[in-house]
Amino acid sequence: MDSRHGYKNRVQELERLIDVLRKNGIYNVEELTLMLVRTIRGYAAQLGIEPLRPRELEYVWLKLID
């Protein structure tokens, strides 16, 4: 039963991932929000959808996490 060992390794992997994200400037809600908005706007542009208003961005975001 290596479940504890596997769990410990997983925690270490997640901590390593978090460190990499932080080193790349991804460490707070504002940065994550900005990244998501850029991503949504990028996909909208690829689909030929006119620029989204803040309410529309919020709508898309809420539907994504729903």
The tens place of each residue's pLDDT in the chain, 66 residues long, gives 455 666 678 889 989 999 998 998 888 888 888 999 999 999 999 999 999 999 999 999 999 988
pLDDT score recorded for residue 6? 62
- For the entire predicted model, the pTM comes to 0.70
Q: Is 25 left (phi over 0), alpha (psi -120 to 50) or beta?
A: left
For residues 27 and 21, the answer to whether their CB atoms sit within 8 Å is: yes
